[in-house]
A and B are shown apart, each in its own frame.
Chain A
Amino acid sequence: MKILFACLISCLALGALGAQSSAELLARIDERRTIPDMSFDMRITSFESGKQKDYNVLRGDVKVTEAGNSVLVYFSEPASVKGRKMLMDGRVVYYLFPRTRNPIRLSPLQVLLGETSNGDVARTGFAKDYDVSAFSEELREGADCYLFKLDAKADRKDSTYAKVDFWVEKVSLRPVYAEFSAADGKLLKKAVYEDYRTVEGKDLPYTLDITDGDDPQKHTTMVYLGIGRKSLPETAFRRDYLDEWTPELPR
């Protein structure tokens, strides 16, 4: 009887949460891991069949605004790409080679580092770009989780990932796992969030492991080597500033 009562309460609570605030909960989860003016040092390593294929060490600054996220990226390793700079401003990407002064405009699909896209590097949350189409609870690897089924918002329908299934641990509100799919439902990527640490009062996963949806032998790890806070004006996240921008290690 007690179990039945507990289940009933849970269902009612979940139903109320689903109806009222699954979107708010998603926004709260985003907010818990978003530093509006963040600087970072990150290593992206891609593997195939257990062997390292290539790697990049990136340094950058992130600006989170109502309009979206903008990210400045500097390639510090390997030597063959050292000095390259990139600005990701929504779906627009600019690329600047060392000793040149004309940022080249790229399409989002031209900017892939291993299995990661610019969206993966720039993403600090889902609430801005996705609507919650379904919300439930699920046990995942022994932990009680919320499961958000997300659909890209109407003005983001042409984004690479039209659908996301997103698991968040209930107790800690930490994202643990996500599956990214195309509009036709084809699984494109799986992501595991790990190694949480507290930085600037936020709860951040230091490691993101991304696996190819087609070929599980292909996977890429994004590991933060350092995270800090650095405030740059919005105009610094413009094409015309990319050449002037001087990257710094996070403090």
Chain B
Amino acid sequence: MSRILLACIAVVLALASVQRAQGLEVEADLDVFPAASLAQEGGGQSMQVEATRIVAQSAISHKQALGEGLTLSGTAWLDADSLPSDSPLAVPATKLDMNARLLEFGLEWEALPGALILDLGKKIIHPSSGFFKTPLNMLSRPAVGDVPSSTAASVGKWEEGWVGADLTWLVGKLTVANFFSPRLDWGQGADQVLQYISQQQSEYDDLLRLGLHIGEVDLRLLALGSADSIGGADPNLHIQTGAGLDVNVGDSLTVRAEISAADSTERLYVVDATRMTSQAESVAWAPRALLGFTWAEGGAKDLSVMAEYYYNGLGFVGSDYDRLMQYSGNSLAAAGRNVAGGQGVADILDQYGSFEAARHYGFARVAGNIEDDLTAQLWVVTNLQDLSCMTGAVLTYTRDAWAVSGALVDAWGGSNTEEGLSPLLWRLDLELSLFF
């Protein structure tokens, strides 16, 4: 552990000196995650395993004007992780796993200042206003480094972009933007440098975004067309559409609503929970929708309440959901017994990530100031079908150039519930952030 800490301190000192010399914007985080998980041991017995994961991350950004209306900008991210699997049963042999990637890198040209903008390179496309879930983020990736969130935010602190070309036209109260991203498909044996630039992009994508500001309402309409290459596994064109709006109600309340749906989405469903068999099916136009609000009184520093409801059209309900819970429980037990049936069983519960197995979810957060520099927040995510939940309590102390936060995340639920089946029991996150 001392080696990791020394390495982190060396990285931070190097960043500080680089920042002073080059005028870069640098942020560095050191996270320590003591966690307790349930592991299955032989005979199907559960065993509590505790482990500490240490993650040092930093992001370096810079924007450089090259000429009139022409700028080059980018963000590089790197991390050192002592437990990238997030499982105490899978500790890397080297004790420290290093990763680096360009989150964004591109050339921006304002052909008509403030009106017509062309971006070329790697860019984050984030049209959604949601916090807990983001139905309108049609081109998005999971958090870099797979660092667990302590705030239940759907998107990681540092987002990763897509490689492509984006053309934006602003006229009056209307915005028209189109992002095209090519297929970037390379094998595992490809030049390792490519892995640092971008993850693979398995399809050709074209995302059209329309934004309209009417009165105090922001309206967004999106359409995404995706296609594999000719001769690829799926040569058909697939469509996703979405719409969203944001509006203020009085001086204290903002309301957001959004919905999206794809013409077809593949999912696995449970055929037989006892035999642990599953099958793939295609679901047409299953909507994902979010309705939420943020209420603030006396400024965000005093008190704010955020709540969101998430409807997941791909999630299971009724007997399908019950079978899924039974299947997931059986597969966990079988994996613990190391029986043949437990090997290679599909993880249907988390096939789209966490909090995506059911159809109805709720999220709520209360945040406020305890002292001038000390903020507190409490949040809860609830599966509204089985009432299992995940809770978090976060304290953050912020000074001019650094912040310290502590978070405790707990999972609650009975044996046949989504959170009850989660291997996580609790997790602490002690985070030191440095700003340069």
Which residues of A does B touch, CB under 8 Å?
53-54, 78-80, 82-83, 90-92, 98-102, 104-112, 158-160, 232-236, 238-241, 244, 246
Contacts and interface: CB of A to CB of B under 8 A. Distances in A.
Contacts, number: 126
Interface of B: 25, 27, 59, 61, 63, 65, 71, 75, 103-104, 108, 110, 113-115, 117, 123-129, 158-159, 168, 170-173, 175, 177, 211, 213, 216, 218, 246, 248, 250-254, 256, 294-301, 304, 372, 398-403, 435-436
A98 B77 CA distance: 14
A15 to B, nearest CB: 37
B300 A80 contact: no
B398 A80 contact: yes
B167 to A, nearest CB: 12
Contacts of A236: 113-114
A79 B435 contact: yes
A106 B255 CA distance: 10
Contacts of A91: 216, 248, 251
Given A99-B59, A100-B124, A105 B168 contact: no
A80 B399 contact: yes
A238 B294 CA distance: 21
A107 B294 contact: yes
B203 to A, nearest CB: 21
A212 to B, nearest CB: 12
A105 B218 contact: yes
A66 to B, nearest CB: 14
Given A105-B218, A107-B253, A241-B114, A246 B27 contact: no
A82 B253 CA distance: 26
Nearest to B127: A102
B216 to A, nearest CB: 5
A98 B27 contact: yes
19 contacts: A79-B400, A79-B401, A80-B398, A82-B435, A98-B25, A98-B61, A99-B75, A99-B159, A100-B159, A102-B129, A104-B129, A106-B254, A107-B251, A109-B298, A158-B251, A232-B114, A236-B114, A239-B218, A246-B63
Given A78-B400, A246-B63, A92 B248 contact: yes
Given A158-B250, A239-B218, A107 B27 contact: no
A246 to B, nearest CB: 7
Contacts of A79: 400-401, 435-436
B252 A238 contact: no
Contacts of A232: 113-114
B175 A240 contact: yes
B300 A112 contact: yes
Nearest to A232: B114
Contacts of A158: 250-251
Nearest to B136: A102
Contacts of A109: 251-252, 296-299
A232 B112 CA distance: 11
Given A82-B435, A107-B254, A101 B216 contact: no
A235 B435 contact: no
Contact of A80 (B75, B177, B253, B402): B402
A235 B253 contact: no
A102 B155 CA distance: 11
